[in-house]
Structure 1
Amino acid sequence: MSSYASPSRAISEGKTSRSSLLSRSTPSKAGEEIEYADQRAMKDTFINRLRMFVSPYFAEFFGTAVFVLVGCGSNLTYAVMTSNSESAWLSAALGWGIGLMLGVFVAGGVSGAMLNPAVALAFAAFRGLPWIQVPFYFLAEFAGAFVGALLAYACFAHSLDPFDGYNRQISGPFGTAGAFGNFARPFIGNGAAFLSESVGTGLLVLGVFAITDANNFPARSCTPIAIGLLLTGLAIGIGYPTGYSFNPARDLGPRCAAAIWYGARVFTAHGSYTWVPVAAPLAGGPIGALLYEFFIVSKRTKLDDMPEDERRAIELD
């Protein structure tokens, strides 16, 4: 046993030589290695485990915040700075797609970048995400969307003032609350809006499952771009009636942030529309996942289970 490993024993025996005292204050090289190994073990058992536990949720938080910041910023830009509604619609759809792409780049390698409670629910049901993590994902995504909306408003507050005369309005020619929480078109009822949001979210989740399916043609390093374009395509294709939320956190978080400036009527406008973009995606997302898993993955799984010669023959056909 080295003198550094047992200096207290040397002192208790009266053998407090100069060398033993020096060994307490100036450890040998071997002693340094033992000390750093102990410190490393402490970090592995506490700090690193804590980081490993919370890192997926912080990744979801930051990824969702980036997604919503860019998306809400796109809405505000074209609500304030342009009168060309067609151009504004296309540009905002592209902005939301780019925002989602950036959010996936931020969080994808750590948490999988669900960024959407409907997607997290579908992955828990069909792709092995532990159910115990789902509530934490929900909270992280909601908090990230809330903070992202706050940052978007902070960036645009001075641009909104001359636009609406310092009077924040929910609807009308100077209404900007829709840049945060979605509102269906005035001629769209809540039932039709629920159907539209459910179908859109189902298609979104089905597309995400297809893009990330290793048995299909996975996008791999292009996954964030593919998912961002998927949202842009759905926004352009079927998003007009409701404003394409397709994501409970993306709507509810910014809506809560908007209530700070626009008042509680953001929750009750359009027949208390708030429940639609929350409930509809949670209903439609798992259905889209079920359709993909049942009709597409199952066939490819059976193909993988076939003998190699039969599988090759089918693939050649």
Structure 2
Amino acid sequence: MSASATPGRLGSEAKTGRTSMYTRKSSATTGRAGEEIEFASQRGLEDTYLNRMRIFVAPYFAEFFGTAVFVLLGCGANLTYIVLTTNAESAWMANAFGWGFGLMLGVFVAGGVSGAMLNPAVAVSFAAFRGLPWIQVPFYILAEFIGAFIGAILAYACFAHSLDPFDGYNRQIGGPFGSAGAFGNFARPFIGNGAAFLSEAIGTGILVLGVFAITDTNNFPARSSTPIAIGFLLTGLALSLGYPTGYSYNPARDLGPRCAAAIWYGADVFTFHGSYTWVPVAAPFAGGIVGAAAYELFIVSKRAVVDDTRSESESIHSSISLE
């Protein structure tokens, strides 16, 4: 049955005084959920200064933990690709899925509390076009950076003993036994910084465009499957566009682990490959804004002609569900 037919069917049921089984079930479920939330609120969230502070900082802690989980799994996939595998083709695919599943789990961890930006470029794009308060953006970025830093340290702790036989206890940035690229990204040796900037900007633009589409309730939203959809979005980008630069697409995901890598590899991680550090930091911001603007200007505007009709239909459906 088409979505456009649903309001008419529900409207006729309302006029005849009948409510479908689906509506009764939804209403009952909503009632139980409301009781549980009310009980939890009365029991554990009294109006105290401490709880008000907990509510205030909750989005930033959510961003911290979500980003830490994302980077831990992703850097772990990178280290597996570099250290423990010999089949480059299958390892690259596994690496892409590792980052995709890491992002999926990070969004599951943080999505219901902070919206799970997990990416400063996404946070800035949502502030510019989706109403995220600008005053929160610096705190989101700081939480994401610290989360990425901690996630990289945890990944190194898990793989330190595996790196020892790989490089003979001599941590190297590049070359056949280099492993610093598992943390901060470096473009392929034959890719210049200008070409790498373009690649990172395009990839981030497609990422943000996809995130805007997936989370747009007026388009074709993934709803409860949003984390899975976003995870596969990153996996697809990694498999299709990620090879030239290692697909950072995220300033915190690159700079946080790069700072962690400096502990073991030295300050050269910031200057290696022609001072490459600025590319995965600047390019995602540029590409993310372009991708967000493209979606908001050329896709969202087409909804205007159906907004009034949709609002009326949704109000009818909502009133019947409450009955």
Return the TM-score normalized by structure 1. Answer: 0.83
Instruction: Find 2:251's aligned residue among 248, 253, 276.
Output: 248
What residue identity is the alignment partner of 2:49? F
The reply to whether residue 286 of structure 1 matches residue 289 of structure 2 is yes
The reply to whether residue 62 of structure 1 matches residue 75 of structure 2 is no
How far did residue 298 of structure 1 move? 0.8
The reply to whether residue 46 of structure 1 matches residue 49 of structure 2 is yes
How far did residue 269 of structure 1 move? 0.3
Matches within 5 A, 1:1-317: 43-305=46-308
How far did residue 44 of structure 1 move? 1.1
Residues 198-220 of structure 1: CA deviation (Å, up to 9, x unaligned):
00000000000000000011101
Residues 23-45 of structure 1: CA deviation (Å, up to 9, x unaligned):
xxxxxxxxxxxxxxxx9999414
| Runs of 4+ residues over 4 Å off in structure 1 | 39-43, 306-309
How far did residue 307 of structure 1 move? 9.0
Could you say which structure has the greater relative contact order, defined with CA pairs below 8 angstroms and 6 or more residues apart? 2
What residue identity is the alignment partner of 2:288? G
CA distance in 2, matches of 1:307, 1:251: 42
Residues 146-183 of structure 1: CA deviation (Å, up to 9, x unaligned):
00000000000001001100000111111100000000
How far did residue 306 of structure 1 move? 5.8
Aligned to 1:6: none
- The runs of 5 or more residues in structure 1 that have no matched partner are 1-38, 310-317
Q: Percent same amino acid among aligned pairs?
A: 81
Q: In the superposition, relative to structure 1, how do residues 190 and 215 fare at CA in structure 2: closer, same or farther (>3 Å)?
A: same
What's the secondary structure of 1:44's corresponding residue? coil
Of residues 148-157 and 47-56 in structure 1, the stretch that sits farther from structure 2 once superposed is 47-56
Q: In the superposition, relative to structure 1, how do residues 159 and 40 fare at CA in structure 2: closer, same or farther (>3 Å)?
A: closer
- Structure exhibiting the larger radius of gyration computed from Cα positions: 1
How far did residue 280 of structure 1 move? 0.3
Q: In the superposition, relative to structure 1, how do residues 298 and 177 fare at CA in structure 2: closer, same or farther (>3 Å)?
A: same
What residue identity is the alignment partner of 1:302? V
Q: In the superposition, relative to structure 1, how do residues 41 and 217 fare at CA in structure 2: closer, same or farther (>3 Å)?
A: closer
Q: In the superposition, relative to structure 1, how do residues 298 and 185 fare at CA in structure 2: closer, same or farther (>3 Å)?
A: same
What residue identity is the alignment partner of 1:133? Q
CA distance in 1, matches of 2:47, 2:156: 40
How far did residue 87 of structure 1 move? 1.2
CA distance in 1, matches of 2:107, 2:118: 8
